[in-house]
Chains A and B, each alone.
Chain A
Amino acid sequence: MALHRLFIRASPRITSTETRSRAELLSSLLLCRQFVVIALVAATIFIKPAVVSILAGVALINLIAYGVSRSLWYPIGAALIIIEPLIGVPVSIATQADLHAALAGPIWLGLGPLVSSLVLRPRYTILTIVGTCVTFAVLAPLFEPQYYPILAMQFLFTMGLSALALIGSYMRERADRDLHLERAKVLHASKLASIGEMAGGIAHELNTPLGAILLTVELLEMELQDLGVKSSAVTDRLTSIGQISQRMSKIIGGLKTFAREGQETEHVETEAREWVTDALALCGQRFQASGVRVDIVGLNSPEFAAILKGNPVQLSQVIVNLLNNSFDAIRDQTDPWIRIEARCGPHSFDVVVTDSGRGIPAEHQPRLFQPFYTTKAIGKGTGLGLSISKGIMENHGGDLLYDARCPNTRFILTWPKERVSVPNTLIQTEKELA
């Protein structure tokens, strides 16, 4: 059965083994059916057997086929297959004896796509519709011209059913995709939760020995002071051990933000500075090691003191997602950089993340926030980062936007002004400006 493989090749969407084998089985059976029906209808033009009973036999094969397919919609599919010949019979009785069985065939064909839509993807439904059209085209010359109006009616009836079938299969596909997305999101969230829990444990365990290192450094400094050593290579090295330990402490602080301690979804008043710094503590070091410069422009400026109600952990996650995307995109550049700024406009509060990339190609832009859409290599990205980030922003009464006007790659976390309380100094500045 080489032909059915054409059906499979036509659909790169079919990936899982189970779906593939089911689709293969169904498509080969449907194709077989088209040929059987063409043969049967053509045969009844010349001989006069009770074709309906043969059709019922073929319907039984289909019934078994759909049973094997283990579709969720199997009961409806099966019911439709059973009534197929019953619809064919009254039409047959109404027409001439020679013709009736012949006409039953095309009607039966029309129901094929309808039934298949309940178990197959739209791509397959379109193929079965095309098959039906071909069948009509092959059969039409076999009829006397006087039967053409009846044949045309049959064709229209069939196509009407097929259109319904197509809509049905599109709706089914969309429902499938939504379900798939929901499952992936749940999986992603549970993965994050377990990573968070683990990170929390590690952070917890590391803080105590880190405390011992910091205290040792302090004690050594005091002892050197007692010995009258003011400044030397030794004191400098001690200072740098202290600084390194402080940096480790910051990284641990960032990890803790993602840990169980921060898992609660309740919204608290949080400064922009807080969650932006937490995000950077988590990945800043890795970026620096790869030569990617990350700057928070004006971290101590009043803009970053803007307070909004939200979950700092989730907001940090948005920044981390953006930073990671940037990192993957620009790490191979000669002078890669990422800049984070906060802006207070007259109507909105924005946190802007810009990197040294040259922007996102126009053809990718419409699908940027679509779940599972990724240009990264397989295994590198889930295609969920931006869609989840946008979801988080919407839950926080804001939005995540891509700025296509910027010559570099720029994403903007934006909130309407009324959701954010900005420091008095900023309000004054705006008044002065006005």
Chain B
Amino acid sequence: MSLKGLRVLVVEDDLDLLGIVSDALRRQGAIVTTARDGKEGMECVLRDPFDLVLSDVQMPRMNGVELLEFIRQRDPNIPVFFLVTGESQINEVQAVQKGAAGLIRKPFRFAALLKLLEEHLAA
């Protein structure tokens, strides 16, 4: 299953990474919206519907876990994936407990991210 036509929100405070992940997703046919922190992400969620959210955890103003909680209040079904740096932020078990669909650790290969997303969408 491809990402074609999928509405994806990418939330990441590192703008280089944000740009490159978005580009890569667009190449796969996804319709990508970007946000630079949790607060911007929240505004996007209020404004538009999404099929998938990719979010960093540690961000200024509002972190990824808070964003996830906000999204869950509005829609329990949107899959949210965390892009995490290091063990200290959140681990797989905690992420799932909070309601995330999964997480991927930086630095990651796009192929790995794609595989993770496709596995989830196929399930």
Residues of B within 8 A of A211 (CB): 17, 106-108
A389 to chain B, nearest CB (A): 26
Chain B nearest CB from A11 CB (Å) reads 51
Per-residue contact bits, chain A 209-235, to B (CB 8 Å; 1 contact, 0 not):
111111110110010000000000000
A212 CA to B113 CA, complexed, in Å = 13
Chain B residues, Cβ within 8 Å of A212: 14, 16-17, 19-20
Q: Is the CB of B27 within 8 A of A209?
A: no
Do residues B14 and A218 form an inter-chain contact, with CB atoms below 8 A?
Answer: no
Chain B proximity of A359: nearest CB distance (Å):
41
| Residues of chain A with a CB closer than 8 A to B19's CB | 212
Query: Is B43 on the interface with A (CB-CB < 8 A)?
Result: no
Are B16 and A209 closer than 8 Å at their CB atoms? Answer: yes
Count of A interface residues, CB-CB < 8 Å:
21
A204 contact set on B, CB distance < 8 A: 85-86, 88
Query: For chain B residues 17-43, which have a beta carbon within 8 Å of chain A?
Result: 17, 19-21, 23-24, 27
User: Taking CB as reference atom, which chain A residue is nearest B105?
Assistant: A207
* A387 interfacial by beta-carbon distance below 8 Å: no
A270 within 8 A of B: no
Instruction: Please state if A261 and B87 are interface contacts (CB–CB under 8 Å).
Output: yes
Q: Are B87 and A215 in contact (CB under 8 A)?
A: no
Asked if A219 contacts B27 (CB within 8 A), the reply is yes
Determine if A428 is an interface residue (Cβ-Cβ < 8 Å): no
Which residue of A has the minimal Cβ distance to B12? A208
Residues of A within 8 A of B87 (CB): 256, 261
Closest chain A residue to B85 by CB distance? A207
Confirm or deny: B74 has a beta carbon within 8 angstroms of a beta carbon on chain A. no
- Asked whether, in the complex, the Cβ of B16 is within 8 Å of the Cβ of A214, the reply is no
Q: Let me know if B111 is at the binding interface, CB within 8 A.
A: yes
A384: chain B residues at CB < 8 Å are: none
In the complex, which residue of chain A has the Cβ closest to the Cβ of B58?
A204
Q: Is the CB of B23 within 8 A of A209?
A: no
User: Chain A: interface secondary structure?
Assistant: helix
Query: Interface range on chain B: under 10, 10 to 19, 20 to 34, or 35 or more?
Result: 10 to 19
Select one of B17, B24, B85, B88 contacting A218, CB under 8 A: B24
Question: A207-B107, A249-B107 given as contacts; is B88 within 8 A of A215 (CB)?
Answer: no
Say whether, besides A212-B14, A212-B20, A219 and B110 are in contact (CB < 8 Å). yes
Cβ of A207 and Cβ of B86 under 8 Å apart? Answer: yes
A218 and B110 form a contact (CB under 8 A):
yes
Query: Contact mask A229-257 → B, CB, 8 Å, 1/0?
Result: 00000000000000001000100000010
Contacts of A214 in B (CB 8 A): 107-109
A215 touching B86 in the complex, CB below 8 Å, given contacts A207-B106, A209-B14: no
Q: Beyond A207-B107, A218-B109, A219-B27, is A261–B88 a contact (Cβ under 8 Å)?
A: yes
A396 close to B (CB within 8 Å): no
B21 adjacent to A215 (CB under 8 Å):
yes
Taking CB atoms, residues of chain B closer than 8 Å to A111 are none
A205 and chain B: residue at smallest CB distance: B85
Residues of B within 8 A of A219 (CB): 20, 23-24, 27, 110
- Give residues 28-68 of B contacting A (CB, 8 Å): none
Give complex CA distance A216, B110 in Å. 9
Tell whether A353 is near chain B: CB-to-CB under 8 Å: no
- Can you list 17 A-B pairs with a CB-CB distance of less than 8 A? A200-B88, A207-B85, A207-B106, A209-B17, A210-B106, A210-B107, A211-B17, A212-B19, A215-B20, A215-B24, A218-B24, A218-B110, A219-B23, A219-B27, A222-B24, A249-B107, A256-B86
Known: A207-B106, A219-B24. 16 other contacts (CB 8 A): A200-B86, A204-B85, A207-B85, A207-B107, A210-B107, A212-B14, A213-B107, A215-B20, A215-B21, A216-B20, A218-B24, A218-B111, A219-B20, A219-B23, A260-B88, A261-B86
Interface residues of A (CB under 8 A from B): 200, 203-204, 207-216, 218-219, 222, 245, 249, 256, 260-261
Residues of B within 8 A of A (CB): 14, 16-17, 19-21, 23-24, 27, 85-88, 106-111
5 A-B pairs with the lowest CB-CB distances in the bound complex, closest first: A211-B107, A212-B16, A211-B106, A212-B17, A215-B20
